[in-house]
Amino acid sequence: MLVKQISIFLENRPGQLAKACRALAASNVNIVTLSLADTTDFGIVRMILDDHVKGFEVLSKAGFAVRDTEVVMASVADRPGGMAELMEKLDKADVDIEYSYAYALGNSDKAVLIFKFKDNAKAEAALAH
Amino acid sequence: MNPISQKDYIDVAGLRKMQLAKLQELIPYEYERVPLFRRRCDEKGVKPRDLATLADLAKFPFMIKTDLRDEYPYGLTAAPMKDIVRFHCSSGTTGKPICIPATMADVDIWSDGVARCLAMYGIMEEDVLQVSYGYGLFTGGLGAHYGGEKLGCAVLPTGAGNTEKQIMLMKDLGVTAIACTPSYFLHLATTAAQMGVDFRRDTKLKHGIFGAEPWTDEIRRKIEEISGITAHDIYGLTEIAGPGVAGNCPYCNGLHVWEDHFYPEIIDPDTLEVLPDGEQGELVFTTLDRRGTPMVRYRTRDISRLQTEPCKCGRTMRVMDRIHARTDDMLIVHGVNVFPSQIETGLMKVPEIAPHYQIHLSSTDTLDLFEIKVEVVPEAFSDNIRDLEALRKRVLAAVKTIIGLTPKITLVGPGTLPRSEGKIKRVIDNRKK
């Protein structure tokens, strides 16, 4: 499934991530999952929010450089080998992964993976099989 | 033509005669009333009566910034307190400020300089002029204010700060011209964009009068591009008057100096010899009319050149090159001379970064650390680390080509570098001296 992800630019100094989270909290936007990519000087926070449009607006207003990206959400069985099966399909279809992160749903036997592919559509097609 | 501009076109012979006559009044006045000047003249063995031609001015001693500090507060004041109506001060980074007491006539001459600049930019009595320079000891606010009133503009004295309100007033009152520092205008533009205000669509703004800090042609283009206004350059310094000593006309690639009030010379800063027009050197001014705190041959430390070609606009007042470098601003990094304006020129070639930057210098025992912080513009922010790293490399390449050094480039978020309401401080030098 294609979903919208929000990315923000974070300087590498204390309090930056907290500031973003506070802004979202104040507007009652929930973070479904996030991942942090960083270099020595700056980072990029990527987030899936329960209200993407509102979240985008809130973070822009708070002064962050914000961008939205389409990513692919895929669920796998939360057991050994679950991820391996999924990767097998992607491998066969020869798609490039730019980045990925995962989260587990609370009371379920599913885990959810977020992928940014070089070619999201091609990957989605591969996963549908 | 506004009658105030008539003086701009006086014939050259008449102008030189007027300058000499004014100098022949000024020099004895200064000699009589300012002990420092008299002492220096005596040391050089030069007397006020030795001034028979304009070239004779070269025989007289210079004044420098430290004279103003050493003689603080009243050592260089030539008029009695009953004639003084105003003080302006400018603070350096170290030690005592400089203090310039002015008479009513001094204020009026200064206003004349500003008003003639405004008229030259095409600003008229019908214009609404917002003055967003700081008011107070700084000469920017009151200088633009009095000049605007003298021309007959409707002056809106907002001062600096409270940016959102400034934008609201600009819209509601139909402001057509704004006077502020170029860095504050960029801040205004960013704030306007956040408020959903488009200068072109929502305001009547046509003119920006920018000065008080050095700014490059690249920043000028950027300002004009984002706001649709014409950016005019106004030059001045507290020691001589404030803004309004010189300004650019629509034709010239430089600034006309109001040399009926402020007599310019260019000197070689090493030999102190006067250089002929057309040669680059340090700009020196003598205030021909000022009586509160007259300056004779004041060394500005600004590097410029008096152009030899007459300007197409027909004004006879000589044109000086735009100031890109003030000798004070020069940084020595790893033994190389670097001007912040060179760094700015490089940075502005990269469209993905905002026109805000900061230069940081610090040192370990053996090494200078040289870092430039630049803001990423929100539209150019990529979700991808590789893209941002590539952007950083492009910024580095743009700067490195010009200065030949390899600073560390740090990308920071939009709006995180400090914005200034007065003069911006772009260089943070924490090196051990």
Query: What would the pLDDT profile of B180-206 be if each residue is shown by its tens digit?
Result: 999 889 989 988 988 899 999 999 999
Q: State the DSSP H helix or E strand holding residue B391, giving kind and residue range, or none if neither.
A: helix B385-403
Verify that A16 and A55 share a domain, yes or no.
Answer: yes
A54-88 per-position pLDDT tens digit? 999 999 888 888 999 999 999 888 889 988 988 99
Non-local CB neighbours of B276 within 8 Å, separated by 6+ positions: none
Mean pLDDT computed over B231-246: 95
Average pLDDT over residues B168-174: 97
The verdict on A97 and A82 lying in the same domain is: yes
The answer, yes or no, to whether residue A41 has pLDDT greater than 90, is no
Q: Which amino acid is at B366?
A: T
Which pLDDT value is given to residue B183?
86
Spatial contact of B121 and B230, defined as CB atoms under 8 Å apart? yes
So what's the pLDDT on residue B131? Answer: 97
Residue of A nearest to B195 (CA): A61
pLDDT band at B149 (very low <50, low <70, confident <90, very high): very high
Whole-number average pLDDT of chain A: 89
B304-360 residue pLDDT tens? 999 999 999 999 999 999 987 677 777 888 778 888 888 988 898 898 888 889 999
Helix residue ranges, H only, B64-216:
65-70, 104-120, 139-151, 163-172, 182-194, 199-202
pLDDT band at B7 (very low <50, low <70, confident <90, very high): very high
Top-ranked range on mean pLDDT: pick from A8-12, B238-242, B422-426:
B238-242
pLDDT(B91) > 70: no
Q: Where in chain B is the domain with CATH 3.40.50.12780?
A: 1-265+284-295+308-325
- Asked whether residue A110 carries a pLDDT value surpassing 90, the answer given is no
Residues A62 and A110 occupy one common structural domain:
no
CATH number of the domain enclosing A84 = 3.30.70.260
Confidence at residue B244, expressed as pLDDT on a 0 to 100 scale: 96
Residues of A in contact with B382 (CB under 8 A): 67
Peptide linkage before B310 cis (omega within 30 of 0): no
How many CB atoms neighbour CB B433 within 10 A? 4
Instruction: Using the 3D structure, point to which of A25, A54, A70 is the last residue of a domain.
Output: A70
For B28, list phi and psi in degrees, rounded to 5.
-65, -35
pLDDT at B425: 81
Q: Give yes or no for residue A129 having a pLDDT over 90.
A: no
Residue A39 clears pLDDT 90, i.e. is over it = no
Which stretches of B173-317 are DSSP H helices?
182-194, 199-202, 217-227
Domain end call among A50, A70, A90: A70
Is residue A85 within 8 Å of A74, Cβ to Cβ?
Answer: no
Contact status of B415 with chain A (Cβ, < 8 Å): yes
User: What mean pLDDT, rounded, does chain B reach?
Assistant: 92
Residues A66 and A78 in one domain: no
Contact map slice: B 92-151 vs A, CB within 8 A:
none
pLDDT at B429: 85
Residue A109: give the domain boundaries: 74-128
pLDDT at B366: 67
Same domain, A81 and A57: no
Q: Is A42 in contact with B389 (Cβ distance < 8 A)? A: no
Strands A42-49, A66-77: pairing is unpaired
- Taking 80 as the threshold, does the pLDDT of residue A105 lie above it? no
Counting the structural domains of chain A, the total is 2
Q: What is the CATH number of the domain that holds A49?
A: 3.30.2130.10
pLDDT tops 60 at residue B233: yes
Are residues A50 and A89 both part of a single domain? no
Query: For the residues B406-412, what does the mean pLDDT come to?
Result: 92
Closest CA relative to residue B386, chosen from A25, A13, A98: A98
3-state secondary structure of B142: helix
Do residue B388 and residue A67 have CB atoms under 8 angstroms apart?
Answer: no
Residue B94 confidence (pLDDT) above 60 = no
B111, B146 in Cβ contact below 8 A?
yes
Residues B255-273: tens digit of each pLDDT: 999 999 999 999 998 899 9
pLDDT bucket at B6, cuts 50 / 70 / 90: very high
Q: What is the distance, to the nearest Å, from the Cα of residue A21 to the centroid of all Cα atoms in its chain?
A: 15
Chain A residues in contact with B389 by the CB 8 A cut-off are 39
Residues A91, A46 share a domain: no
> For chain B, where do the domains classified as CATH 3.30.300.30 start and end?
330-429
Nearest to A39 among B383, B385, B412 (CB): B385
Whether residue B433 has pLDDT greater than 80: no
Rounded CA separation B163/B77 (Å): 37
pLDDT value of position A6: 95
Residue B398's pLDDT is 92
- C-alpha to C-alpha distance for A11 and A43, rounded to whole angstroms: 6
Cβ contact, residue pair A60, B378, below 8 Å: yes
Of B378, B385, B414, the CB nearest to A44: B385
Same domain, A55 and A105: no
Task: Compute CA distances A18 → A22, A50, A117, B276, whole Å.
Answer: 6, 18, 29, 62
Are residues A95 and A114 part of one domain?
yes
Least confident interval from A76-90, A98-112, B100-114, B322-336: B322-336
Range with the largest mean pLDDT of B16-30, B92-106, B188-202, B240-254: B16-30
Q: What is the mean pLDDT of residues B19-31?
A: 98
- As a whole number of angstroms, the distance between CA B135 and CA B88 comes to 10
In CATH terms, B1-265+284-295+308-325 corresponds, of 3.40.50.12780, 2.60.40.420, 3.30.70.20, 3.40.50.300, to 3.40.50.12780
CATH topology of domain B330-429: GMP Synthetase; Chain A, domain 3 (3.30.300)
**Nearest CB to A42; choose among B378, B388, B415:** B388
| Domain termination residue (choose one: A70, A92, A116) | A70
Same domain, A59 and A34: yes
Inform me whether the pLDDT recorded for B369 exceeds 90.
Answer: no
A63 and A15 inside one domain: yes
Q: What is the dihedral of CA B400, B402, B403, B404, to 10 degrees?
A: 50
Interface test with B, best of A7, A42, A61, A120 (most B CBs within 10 A): A42
Say what the pLDDT of residue B422 is.
64
Whether residues A48 and A107 share a domain: the answer is no
